[in-house]
Structure 1
Amino acid sequence: MAADLAVDKSLVGRWVSGKVVPSAHNLARLTELIARRRPGFTMLDWDRDLEGLAAALGVETTFNGGQATLIDWIPPAILSEALQGTAARGGVYEGIWRSTRPSSDLPGRFLHDHLLIQRSASGLLSFRTGVEGVSYEGGALLLQHQLFSIAADRAHGTLLFSIFNGVARQKAEVLDGVTLACLRDAGGSPAASTCLLERVADLSGDPEADIQAYEAMIAAQGSPLAPEGSVPEAVRAHLIREADPMRMGLGGLLRMYFGQSMARGSSLNGAA
């Protein structure tokens, strides 16, 4: 948008954040730019309420009563970069993936989960994954050649974070990175894990059909525990870092058990 309007992208960022209102001249040029993509859009449409403006722009949105959303916390320049990156290269990540990650309970064993990545109406990447009976849904920011993602399991009130290395130009077939979530123990202990993603299916072009295909894979999987010997040695070595003398037996895992946590509040007598 900044390029089309011949303005600095930081100015567009300030428009998006609400810190600056476009001048009459820029608003007229912005209206003309939108009208090329949404025929019939005029200056009068800016006087609509939010629902009416969303309808005029042809987008779906959910109004949350003024509560902050994750996007509200992201600096406009970073959000702009993520939107541009997704528009240019988001398609190379769309698909259904299978993850391989070390088991937190059985040293030397590995788990498989499935992951669906799609482009959403927001212009960013959305994803969903099933992890040991827990269903996460969220989104990802494509920044440079990395995917930064966050997802929530609404049923249990937990979050999943991940950072994956991406690709430069080619269609992505394998990704690797680190995930952070809570174990399913009594305290919900935080655990970080290395993880590798392998593409198992491309998208059909029908979002609902793709979701059904993803859910069918989860239903057919059964146990997430990978059969012994089924994970290739190169993948095993990559995930557990066998060549790393400092790994101290963690095997690609970093755990902070709730029962051993040093987290505390103030003492009863008020002393530090």
Structure 2
Amino acid sequence: MALKVINMSPAALGAAVGVDKSVISRWLSGKVTPSGHNLTRIASEIARARPGFSALAFEAPAEHFARVLDLGPGTVPLRRPASAEGPSVVGLELPYDALNDARKETERRGVEYFGHYSLYYWSFTRPGRVVRMAMMLSPRDGLIEARYGANGFEFGGWALLLMNRLYIQLSEKRYQAMMFMLTNPGQQPVARRLTGLMMGPSDRLMVPTVSPMVLERERAITGDDATNIADFEAAQDFDPFEQGDSAPFEVRHCLENMVSMTRVADTGVALVQVPTAEAEG
């Protein structure tokens, strides 16, 4: 939570503290507890952005932890206590028990979605070009953590599995731009290709922009969080536009059939036309 508040990546914290990023991953996963010396160094880095923060905050009640991070008392429920209904979850609550429903669905069939993917969609800033991103879906706190990125891009968030569809919300590392995705139902025993829509702000005017998307499974994740993160970071080391230009024919064909863009000459407004079920068939 502290890293998200000060907009610092685990890799940046590792560089600042002087430890390998794999060590940071083990700390964040709870597999290893930082020593008192390292907690002090971590607190010092957080205090650069949040003066008054100290290592004592890690042992303080949640309300105090939120206060020293300038979140304000009671404004954000940092963690709901574990109960018979499910494990504790970091973040805001959703009404109508949506999180518990997503947790139950994840427990039942989340394994069908966990994995490394290539994400393809029409560029928001370069009309007519396909973009490719690396994406990872992995289990976290009884839900599905979502990450995607490439050179110059890094997004993180959550995917709620409901009615065999993924409702994905992510935020961008640098500017907190939000991205939203909704997929069609997946396949068993694992989702091989997921289609859907994604929406976010375009770079120039920051206006809402929508595109069809295709998620192509690349490989499964491992049972080790540090290994998965390292694999994902290695997998996103590429130019998204160059990789998009070489998208497989089947993927490009799918993107073209899912949606068509029509430019209105007199207004310059781009209209989105979703094909009918007959056209999709």
What band does the TM-score fall into relative to the shorter chain? 0.5 to 0.7
Match of 2:255 among 227, 239, 243: 239
Go from structure 1 to structure 2 and tell me whether the alpha carbon gap of 1:249 and 1:199 turns closer, same or farther (over 3 Å shift).
farther
Go from structure 1 to structure 2 and tell me whether the alpha carbon gap of 1:100 and 1:150 turns closer, same or farther (over 3 Å shift).
same
Aligned to 1:194: 212
Contact 2:150 2:240 in 1 (8 A): no
Task: Give how far 1:198 is off.
Answer: 0.7
Is 1:163 paired with 2:182?
A: yes
Partner of 2:100: helix, strand, or coil? Answer: helix
**Hey, what's the Cα distance between the residues in 1 that align with 2:177 and 2:124?**
17
Consecutive unaligned residues in structure 1, runs of 5 or more? 1-50, 55-61, 257-272
**Hey, what's the Cα distance between the residues in 2 that align with 1:199 and 1:139?**
18
Aligned to 2:199: 180
Partner of 1:216: helix, strand, or coil? Answer: helix
Is 1:134 paired with 2:142?
A: no
Q: Count residues in correspondence.
A: 190
Partner of 1:166: helix, strand, or coil? Answer: coil
Is 1:66 paired with 2:74?
A: yes
**Hey, what's the Cα distance between the residues in 1 that align with 2:181 and 2:155?**
12
Partner of 1:156: helix, strand, or coil? Answer: coil
Q: TM-score, normalised by structure 1?
A: 0.61
**Hey, what's the Cα distance between the residues in 2 that align with 1:93 and 1:204?**
13
Is 1:83 paired with 2:77?
A: no
Task: Give how far 1:117 is off.
Answer: 0.7
**Hey, what's the Cα distance between the residues in 1 that align with 2:150 and 2:180?**
13
What do residues 156-208 of structure 1 show as CA deviations (whole Å, max 9, x unaligned)? Answer: 121111101232542111111111111121x3222111100011121111111
Q: How does 1:195-234 map to 2 (within 5 A)?
A: 195-219=213-237, 221-226=238-243, 228=245, 230-234=246-250
Aligned to 2:46: none
The aligned amino acid for 1:162 is M
**Hey, what's the Cα distance between the residues in 2 that align with 1:132 and 1:156?**
16
**Hey, what's the Cα distance between the residues in 2 that align with 1:88 and 1:241?**
32
Contact 1:241 1:247 in 2 (8 A): no
What do residues 222-248 of structure 1 show as CA deviations (whole Å, max 9, x unaligned)? Answer: 3433364x3343322321228x7x742
Contact 2:145 2:157 in 1 (8 A): yes
**Hey, what's the Cα distance between the residues in 2 that align with 1:88 and 1:171?**
13
**Hey, what's the Cα distance between the residues in 1 that align with 2:145 and 2:247?**
28
Aligned alpha-carbon RMSD (Å): 3.1
Partner of 1:126: helix, strand, or coil? Answer: strand
Task: Give how far 1:81 is off.
Answer: 1.3
Aligned to 2:169: 150
Aligned to 1:115: 135
Contact 1:164 1:175 in 2 (8 A): yes
Q: How does 1:27-106 map to 2 (within 5 A)?
A: 65-68=73-76, 72-106=92-126
Query: Is the radius of gyration larger for structure 1 or structure 2?
Result: 1
Aligned to 2:3: none
Contact 1:89 1:169 in 2 (8 A): no
